[in-house]
Every structure is written in C-alpha cells, then in structure tokens.
Amino acid sequence: MIMQECMRYYGPGDMVSLSDIRQAGCEGVVSSLHQIAYGEVWPVEEIRKRQKQIADAGMVWSVVESLPVHDDIKNRTGAFRKYLENYKISIRNLAECGIHVITYNFMPVLDWIRTDLEYQLPDGSKALYFNRTEFAAFELFVLRRVDAEKDYTPAEFAAAKRYFDALSSERRAVLERNIIDNFPGFKGVTLATIREALARAGALTDEVLREHLRLFLEEVTPVCLECGSIMTIHPDDPPFPILGLPRIFSTIDDIETLLRMVDNPANGICFCSGSFSGRRENDIVAMFRKAAPRVGFVHLRSTAHDGKGNFYEANHLEGVVDMYHLVKEILAESQRRKEAGRADWRIPMRPDHGHTMLDDLRKPMCANPGYTAIGRMKGLAELRGLELGVLKSCFPALG
C-alpha cells in the first residue's frame, strides 16, 4: 500500500498490544512517552527503549503523537522559556533516534473533548459523542466557569439546566470524568486544576494565541530543519471555541494562516479529517488540497451530525467526510511527491477513534477511549480496501 499504515500505541500499559497492532496489518506505530511530564525533556535512552519495543514487534516507530506543548508556552507565561529549550532538546533527541515526524496541538487547557465515551449506536456498538447541551451543563453547573452563561442563549441555558437537574450524582461524576480526565499523560485532573488553568489562560484571544503559535514555531522549526524533522499540528477537536477559549486551527482559513505565518517545510500539518469534520461547514477535501504539500501525517475518520451542534464518531467510510475523494487526494499528493523525488512521499496514516464493538464490548472499558482494537482494525480494513481500489483505478504508476 502507498500510505504507511499505522496505529496508535500508548505504551506497555495499553490494553491493545503491539502484537495486536501488527496482526491488524500495520507496519508503523504512532506513540508517545506519556510517562514523562509535560514540558520535560525526552531522554534518548527512553526514546530508544520504546523504539526497541516496537522494533521487537516487527514494526517501526513512525510518528510521535504527541510531544506535548506545555501550557506555559501557549500562554507565554511562567517557565515558558525553559519548556521551549526542553522542547528543542527533545526534537534533537528524537532525530538522533531516527524519528522525524512530530505531532502536537495548540489547544489551551484541554485537548480533545467528548461528553459521552460510550454512546450507544443502533447496531449495539459504542462511539465517542459530543453533545452541546451536556457540555453546557458541565461548564455551567459542574465547572461553574466564570461568565460561561454568556456563551449560551437563554434556551440553551434552560436546556442545560434541565439536563443537569435530571442527572444522578453518579452520572454527574461520569460527565465530569469524561470531559477532564481521559488524557494519557495528564491524569488525575480535577475541577480545581481546570479552574487554575483557565485563570492562567484568561487573557488569550484568537490573535494572541495565534501570535504565540507563530513564536513557538519560529523557535522550534529551525531545529527541525537542522534535524530533517517536521512539526505537524493537530486540528482543534472540536473545531470551535471551548471553555471561553480560542481555537485557532479549525478551518481552511486557519490552514492558510498557519502556512503563511512560518513558511518553511518544517511547519507541517497532521491532517485529521475527523476533527475538521466536527465543524459541519468544513469542506474536508478542499482543506486537504490546501494543506497537501505540508501534510506530514494523516488521521482518517468521520463524524455524523444531528443539526443541533451534536456529533458522534461515524464508521470510517460513513458520516460527513467524503472519504473516497479524500483518499484520492492523498494518493495524488503521494504521486506528486514521488515524482519530485521527496523522501516523504509515503504519508503515515492511522485510522482514528474506532467504535467499541464485538468482543471489546465484554472487556473492561478501554483505558484510552476510542482506541479499542477491533473498531480500529475494522476502520483500517475499510480504508485499506478503499485505498487499493483508488490506487488500482486512478494511480497505477504508484502501485
């Protein structure tokens, strides 16, 4: 196949083993050193240890996802200068080990957000789900964010209050945990943690956060150029403002702005079709065309919407993403790169956020929501079949 097919692996504690990933048909692994605190240096010996685990299983560590950007860097406060220098050392250490694709995000305070990690679908499988009323109930009546009511209409506020009032104390605790405490490497988060982080980020606007991203990239991309590495930014998820905070990588205009702000090949994109598709008006195929020369890594998934601001993770070939034409565009970019003699002509890809289904429904809840074995293997199988069909019919020279 042309795309380098990978799966995400969270380390030795992951319930989906490296053997499982290899049996699913992957040649590459996407991983991170979640045991190292945000902002600290990744030592060469720790990188090599994970790399050897993956190599011993017959695969390669293709992409780092993620090398986290400390919130002090996003805010330009506190120890941000120290964390920037640590980040540069980690880039060099990864390059010394032969790992050159580095994914990160620039979402302040919280990473991706869902309100339900076990949303029941009609076929009995379970998906990740974002419900606007549930999220409003969380930030209005659980987190009690200052001025949160300004972000909602009176009708939305009333709906959130009705929903919250009907929840048992147990369900309120589940809603809280779903939103703030499901990130590997960032466990034990409390409401107090989030309130403190929001206070530190209080001055952020779109313009300020975008400028902080530019300053970050101006610091780290020269190191990447020295090392032959690429920074690939992950889209905001969901791709609209959350918790009163800006989200600056959600639209085609944001792609254009990113590519202009630091115009060098080390400033790249992790093209996550599912994250971008959380904003219903986004044209995912057009966005890939705009981003294509700088795409260093691809996540393929899709979402289904109800027209009320709510969405769930769809099957990989369903939902709002035109997956046929997206895969066709990815292969077209691969062909352009191959003809230009680029070493990165095979773009790493992973299926993203598979459903919990079949035997996985009878196992303890996956420690990493969206990353069960069978749902991702189903998604990968669908994507491999689609890729092969597009390849044979449209790009025979690549095959």
List all residues 6 or more positions away from 41 whose beta carbon is below 8 Å from its beta carbon: 86, 89, 90, 93
Per-residue pLDDT reduced to its tens digit, 40-65: 999 999 999 999 999 999 999 999 99
pLDDT category of residue 397 using cuts at 50, 70 and 90: confident
CA dihedral (287, 293, 296, 300) positive or negative: positive
Cβ neighbourhood burial of 184 (10 Å; 0-12, 13-18, 19+): middle
Query: For the domain with range 4-110+201-394, which CATH number is right: 3.20.20.150, 3.30.420.10, 1.20.950.20, 2.70.98.50?
Result: 3.20.20.150
Average pLDDT over residues 210-221: 98
Secondary structure (3-state) at 324: helix
Per-residue pLDDT reduced to its tens digit, 243-260: 999 999 999 999 999 999
**What pLDDT score does 365 carry?**
64
Domain boundaries along the sequence of the chain:
4-110+201-394, 116-197
**What pLDDT score does 203 carry?**
79
The closest of 146, 141, 218 to 179, measured between CA atoms, is: 141
SS3 content of the chain, % helix, strand, coil (to 5): 45, 15, 40
CA distance 142 to 164: 9
Beta-bridge partner residues of 55: none
Which phi and psi angles does 354 have, rounded to 5°?
A: -70, 160
Per-residue pLDDT reduced to its tens digit, 359-393: 999 887 656 889 999 999 999 999 999 999 999 99
For this structure, is 353 an active site residue?
A: yes
**What pLDDT score does 363 carry?**
82
pLDDT above 70 covers what percent of the chain? 97
pLDDT category of residue 262 using cuts at 50, 70 and 90: very high
The closest of 239, 243, 236, 161 to 195, measured between CA atoms, is: 243
CA distance 333 to 348: 13
**What pLDDT score does 137 carry?**
98
List all residues 6 or more positions away from 381 whose beta carbon is below 8 Å from its beta carbon: 25
Per-residue pLDDT reduced to its tens digit, 161-214: 999 999 999 999 999 999 997 666 566 789 999 999 999 998 799 999 999 999
CA distance 42 to 31: 13
For this structure, is 355 an active site residue?
A: no
Average pLDDT over residues 304-326: 97
Active site residue: 352, 355, 360, 366, which one?
352
Active site residue: 34, 70, 100, 234, which one?
234
For this structure, is 366 an active site residue?
A: no
Active site residue: 26, 227, 270, 272, which one?
272
CA distance 386 to 327: 8
**What pLDDT score does 245 carry?**
94
Full-prediction pTM beyond 0.85?
yes
DSSP secondary structure, 201-228, as one string = TTT--HHHHHHHHHHHHHHHHHHHHHHT
Active site residue: 212, 316, 353, 355, which one?
353
CA distance 281 to 154: 25
CA distance 39 to 71: 9
Under 8 Å between Cβ of 243 and 109: yes
**What pLDDT score does 367 carry?**
60
Active site residue: 299, 312, 316, 360, which one?
299
Per-residue pLDDT reduced to its tens digit, 271-310: 999 999 999 999 999 999 999 999 999 999 999 999 999 9
For this structure, is 234 an active site residue?
A: yes
CA distance 137 to 288: 35
The closest of 33, 31, 25, 34 to 58, measured between CA atoms, is: 25
